[in-house]
């Protein structure tokens, strides 16, 4: 392994010192190959390979939790360097309050999301109770950034529930229509059957008088009587089938009523549960607000975060350029180079 010196040069056997600052590993490898070919008078240029084993460290000082020297990684920025150093420095006695503040804020955010979902869910349930195909977004949550996805989820539930109920009611209605068609058909059969009974009775009446005079055998009379009995028996079967179909229609009608009643009862229970959950959520949010206030009062540094205000920081980089040290103003996104010294300062509250 070879080290690039402060002057940006690299010392290689048989080559000596050569400039390395500002060059890529491929460029350095090509330069080494050319130098070896020239020094050793080789016909062909030897292949050289250069890999970066370790970068020079960077340094960070000032208002960070753990100032000092750290290994450099490619793509490093001031913000990433601060993260490596533990972030903004906190007073030891304030760390517990910081942790309490983070926990309370996290719980509050979860509860706030739950509150929004419950309010939108309540609007959806009320729309279902009123048999509306959609619902208006409650004004109290109109500015929530995740409102669109929450409303979409509840609209999907509303559409699915109404479609499910409609299909089940439609199935019962179709069954009632089918049964009514069967009743109409049976009633027509009864009319035709009764006509045949009347004709058979007229025929039997004529045959009976002839039988009394001995002009017709008794067997024919018996056959006519049997035919009438069979026809009347079929009419009774049709009447029984009609009664069964009417009972089925009544049951389907009652099933539809029960289905709607069950749906409405379930929605009423859901709305009551949502109201209870919403009340509990609001109480928990108030508790978390109190915990955040307590944490903020216990650590004055947290006052900087009140109303979304973040602490103002200033950054600068001390960098060696062409053998000279210079200090440049930086921001969170400024790239950090190996060997840089990062200075982090916290702007006093009075200056913000």
> Residues 20, 105: one domain?
no
13 shares a domain with 67: no
Within a domain: 288: yes
State pLDDT tens for residues 155-174: 999 999 999 999 999 999 99
| Alpha-carbon gap, residue 200 to 203, rounded angstroms | 5
185 and 326 together in one domain: no
Does the residue 44 lie in any domain?
yes
Are residues 133 and 13 located together in one domain of the fold? no
Domain ends where: 298, 322, 343?
Answer: 298
Identify the top-confidence range among 50-64, 87-101, 116-130.
116-130
Say yes or no to pLDDT of 103 above 80.
no
Higher pLDDT: 45 or 298? It is 45
Angle, in degrees to the nearest 10, between helices 95-129 and 147-212:
30
Q: Are residues 280 and 337 in the same domain?
A: no
Q: What is the mean pLDDT of residues 324-333?
A: 91
Q: How large is the average pLDDT for residues 96-114?
A: 77
76 found inside a domain: yes
Residues 167 and 246 in one domain: yes
Question: How much of the chain, in percent, has pLDDT values that exceed 70?
Answer: 84
Half-sphere exposure (CA, 13 Å, Cβ side) for 260?
12
Q: Do 125 and 81 share a structural domain?
A: no
CATH number at residue 342: 3.10.560
335 domain residue, yes or no: yes
Q: Where is average pLDDT lowest: 41-50, 175-184, 238-247?
A: 41-50
- Terminus-to-terminus CA distance in the chain, angstroms? 49
The reply to whether 232 falls in a domain is: yes
In angstroms, the Cα distances linking 148 to 120, 151, 178, 198 are 11, 5, 44, 74
What mean pLDDT do residues 214-240 have? 76
Domain extent at residue 68: 56-89+310-351
214 and 72 within one domain? no
Could you tell me if 239 and 285 lie in one domain?
A: yes
For the chain, what is the domain count? 3
Average pLDDT over every residue of 5-23:
75
For residues 194 and 208, membership in a common domain is answered with: yes
Decide if 275 is inside a domain.
yes
171 and 108 within one domain: yes
Give the percent of the chain with pLDDT over 90: 41
pLDDT at 250 exceeding the cut of 90: yes
Residue 216 has a pLDDT of 55
Answer whether residue 167 is part of any domain.
yes
- Whether the CB-CB separation of 141 and 120 falls below 8 Å is answered with yes
Reported confidence tier of residue 95, pLDDT bands at 50, 70, 90: low
**Are the C-beta atoms of residues 35 and 25 closer than 8 Å to each other?**
no
Average pLDDT, the chain: 82
Taking CB atoms within 8 Å and a gap of at least 24, the contacts of 105-108 are: 105/288, 105/292, 107/284, 107/288, 108/285, 108/288, 108/289, 108/292
The encoded tokens of residue 95 equal 């760390």
Confidence (pLDDT) at 106: 81
If asked whether residues 191 and 269 sit together in one domain, one would say yes
In a domain, 268, yes or no: yes
Q: What is the pLDDT of residue 43?
A: 79
What is residue 349's predicted lDDT score, i.e. its pLDDT?
Answer: 47
Average pLDDT over residues 241-266: 93
Q: What is the pLDDT of residue 308?
A: 47
């Amino acid at each position: 392994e070879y080290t690039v010196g402060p002057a940006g040069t690299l010392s290689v056997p048989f080559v000596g010192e050569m400039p390395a600052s500002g060059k890529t590993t491929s460029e350095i490898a090509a330069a080494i190959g050319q130098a070896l070919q020239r020094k050793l008078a080789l016909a062909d240029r030897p292949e050289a390979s250069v890999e970066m084993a370790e970068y020079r460290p960077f340094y960070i000082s000032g208002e960070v939790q753990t100032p000092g020297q750290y290994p450099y990684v490619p793509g490093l920025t001031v913000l990433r360097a601060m993260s490596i150093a533990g972030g903004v420095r906190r007073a030891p006695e304030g760390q517990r309050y910081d942790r309490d503040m983070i926990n309370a804020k996290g719980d509050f955010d979860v509860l706030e999301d739950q509150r929004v979902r419950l309010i939108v869910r309540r609007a959806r349930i009320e729309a279902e109770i009123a048999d509306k195909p959609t619902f208006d977004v409650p004004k109290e949550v109109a500015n929530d950034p995740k409102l669109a996805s929450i409303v979409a989820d509840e609209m999907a539930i509303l559409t699915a529930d109404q479609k499910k109920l409609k299909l089940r009611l439609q199935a019962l209605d179709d069954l009632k229509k089918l049964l009514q068609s069967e009743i109409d058909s049976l009633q027509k059969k009864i009319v035709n059957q009764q006509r045949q009974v009347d004709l058979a009775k007229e025929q039997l009446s004529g045959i009976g008088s002839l039988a009394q005079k001995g002009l017709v055998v008794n067997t024919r009379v018996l056959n006519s009587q049997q035919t009438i009995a069979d026809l009347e028996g079929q009419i009774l079967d049709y009447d029984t089938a009609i009664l069964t179909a009417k009972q089925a229609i009544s049951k389907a009608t009652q099933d539809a009523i029960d289905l709607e009643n069950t749906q409405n009862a379930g929605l009423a229970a859901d709305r009551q549960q949502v109201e209870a959950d919403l009340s509990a959520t609001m109480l928990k949010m108030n508790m978390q607000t109190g915990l955040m206030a307590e944490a903020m009062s216990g650590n004055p540094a947290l006052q900087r975060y009140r109303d979304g205000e973040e602490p103002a920081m200033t950054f600068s980089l001390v960098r060696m350029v062409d053998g000279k040290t210079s200090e440049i103003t930086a921001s969170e996104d400024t790239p950090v180079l190996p060997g840089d010294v990062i200075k982090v300062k916290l702007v006093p509250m009075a200056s913000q």
